[in-house]
Structure 1
Amino acid sequence: MNCLELTIPPLPQLVTIGHTFWPPGQKHETRSFDVYDLLFVLKGTLYMMEDDVPYEIKEGSMLVLEPNRMHTGYRPCEEITEIYWIHFVHPAPVRTIESGKIPWSFPYVKGTNLDVEPNLQVMYLPKFATLHVPDILPFLERMMELHHSLSPAHSLPLQMQLAGLLVQLQAAARLQNASRARQLCDHTIAYLQQHLTRPFDAKHMEQTLHYRFDYLARCLKTYTGMSPLQYLHDLQIKTAKSLLENMELSVSEVGQQVGIDNPNYFIRLFRKQTGITPGKYRNIRIGKA
């Protein structure tokens, strides 16, 4: 499944939503405009073409038509076809990517109380997919209700419903091609997060997750680029950074809080990960450098 990778923030913004039933013989007009057109077919089949690529959007399926491409119905509906459509705006996608290649578990840098701009993140939207309708229909119906009685009281809830719908679509993209390797990658990450302060123990990881350590390590490496020990160190240093910025703890106490009792080893690891010592990092972040 191909997905559109959109940078966030900002989140996509709703322009309008509609719900219609097309009779047999009707087809989509030919047009190109500067918005995304998100189509959901609940009954029947809608025949759409984007540039030169045809799509049969069957019952329970969706398609995202991208801005400034030529869209046309290449064949009329053959039966009554129920359609929800959503227009939204957002900067052009960074890229189109196969869902199986998305690094779902790659860790982001977390913001702190000293940051003044949000860190760049991304979201993923299926281009063309079959969905579990009960998961998305409540969002569509609620959006129609709010849009019908749009007011200052309803505008924010309407945008929030769109965000909730996009969460469901991203989850569908992730689950549809979820391989055992990616699932085990997620389980390994959860294990490392839960055992942050425990001395690294490959045997304990095997016993807890019921897979050989070498296989778990390959799965994690595939989707994060890191070995289990490297990922654990990354988690420990990220947590240490937050403690250094927000808690009045000594450097050795911070090391102990993240599972590293040896202060010298903690300082060496911190310097290796960041290029500076924990004390220097704290001084820079609180404005003493």
Structure 2
Amino acid sequence: MHCLELIIPPLPQLLTIGHSCWTPGQQHVARSFNVYDMLFVLKGTLYMTEDDVPYEIKEGCMLVLEPNRMHIGHRPCEEVTEIYWIHFAHQAPVRAVDSGQISWSIPFTKGTNDDLTPHQQMMYIPKFTSIHIPDILPYLQQMLELHHALSPASSLLLQSQLASLFVELQTAVRNQYAPRSRLLSDQAIAYLEQHMTRPFDAKHMEQTLHFHFDYLARCLKKYTGMSPLQYLHDLQIRRAKSLLERTALSVAEIGQHVGIENTNYFIRLFRKQSGVTPGQYRSGRMGRV
């Protein structure tokens, strides 16, 4: 399934939301404007064409019409059709990407106090797909209610509800359309996070997740670029950096906190991952806010 890849921040901004029931014979007018038009069909079927590509948006489906593309109802409704529609503003999508090719699990580089600009991040929304209406209907209903009584007091909540809707849609994409390899990669990540402080044990990982370790390692490598041991070390060093910045624990104590009992090995690993020793890392951040 194709998803639209949008750069964030900033998050998309809600412009308007509506709810209506179209009677048989009604048909969407032709238009093109510089906003996104997101359509949710709760009952019936809506017939839409975008740049000569026709869609039948049936009950329990959604379609995102993109900015500056011509869209038109190519066929009138044949039955009562209940829809919600949302217009939101955002820059054009970077690309359309297959949901199975999204690298959901690759971690971003940990930010520091020296960062002056945010890391480039992406969000993904399905272009055209079926949805579980009960999961999204509360967001649509609350947004409609807030929009009808829009005020300075409700504006932030309205925009946050749109963000929550996008989270729900993106989560559904991950869970519904993800290949098994991606799901196993996520399971491997969860296992490593839960067992970060215990010695790495490939056999225990295999027995816990009920898949051969080599297969788990291939899945993790595919989506993170790292082996299980490399990913574990990355977790440990990320956690160690946080402790170095925010606590007065000794280097040896921090090594123990992240699951590395041998202090010399911890220092070598930290230097290999970061280019500096733990002491140098801490000293470089003293006095920064």
State the TM-score bracket (shorter-chain normalisation): over 0.9
- Count of matched residue pairs: 288
The aligned runs of 1:26-41 (5 Å cut-off) are 26-41=26-41
Partner residue, 1:76: 76
Give yes or no for contact 1:252–1:263 (8 Å, CA) kept in 2: yes
Partner of 1:86, secondary structure, is: strand
Partner Cα distance (1:86, 1:113) in 2:
38
Partner residue, 2:150: 150
1:104 aligns with 2:79: no
Q: Residues 243-287 of structure 1: CA distance to partner in whole angstroms, max 9, x if unpaired? A: 111111222222222111222222221222122222222222335
Partner residue, 2:193: 193
Partner of 2:63, secondary structure, is: strand
Alpha-carbon deviation of 1:145? 0.9
Point out the more displaced range, 160-169 or 173-182.
173-182
Partner residue, 1:210: 210
Partner Cα distance (2:51, 2:279) in 1:
57
Alpha-carbon deviation of 1:116? 4.8
Partner of 1:136, secondary structure, is: helix
Alpha-carbon deviation of 1:216? 1.1
Alpha-carbon deviation of 1:112? 5.1
Give yes or no for contact 1:12–1:90 (8 Å, CA) kept in 2: yes
Partner residue, 1:131: 131
Partner Cα distance (2:33, 2:273) in 1:
47
Partner of 1:248, secondary structure, is: coil
Alpha-carbon deviation of 1:114? 5.9
Partner letter of residue 170 of structure 2? Q
Partner residue, 2:179: 179
Partner Cα distance (1:153, 1:45) in 2:
37
Q: Residues 28-82 of structure 1: CA distance to partner in whole angstroms, max 9, x if unpaired? A: 1111111111001111111111112111111110001111111112222122211
Partner residue, 2:5: 5
Partner residue, 1:62: 62
1:283 aligns with 2:283: yes
**Normalised by the size of structure 1, how large is the TM-score?**
0.94
Partner residue, 1:253: 253
Partner residue, 1:15: 15
Partner residue, 1:45: 45
Partner Cα distance (1:248, 1:115) in 2:
23
Partner Cα distance (2:69, 2:237) in 1:
45
Partner residue, 2:94: 94
The aligned runs of 1:229-240 (5 Å cut-off) are 229-240=229-240
Alpha-carbon deviation of 1:23? 1.8
Partner of 1:203, secondary structure, is: helix
Partner Cα distance (1:112, 1:275) in 2:
15
Structure 2: state its 5+ residue gaps: none
1:276–1:113 CA distance, 2 compared to 1 (3 A):
closer
Partner letter of residue 35 of structure 1? V
Partner residue, 2:268: 268
Partner Cα distance (1:31, 1:284) in 2:
57
Partner residue, 1:165: 165
Partner of 2:123, secondary structure, is: strand
Give yes or no for contact 1:110–1:119 (8 Å, CA) kept in 2: no
Partner Cα distance (2:170, 2:211) in 1:
28
Partner of 1:196, secondary structure, is: coil
Point out the more displaced range, 149-158 or 105-114.
105-114
- Alignment RMSD: 1.7
Point out the more displaced range, 138-147 or 19-28.
19-28
Partner Cα distance (1:286, 1:80) in 2:
66
Structure 1: state its 5+ residue gaps: none
1:223 aligns with 2:223: yes
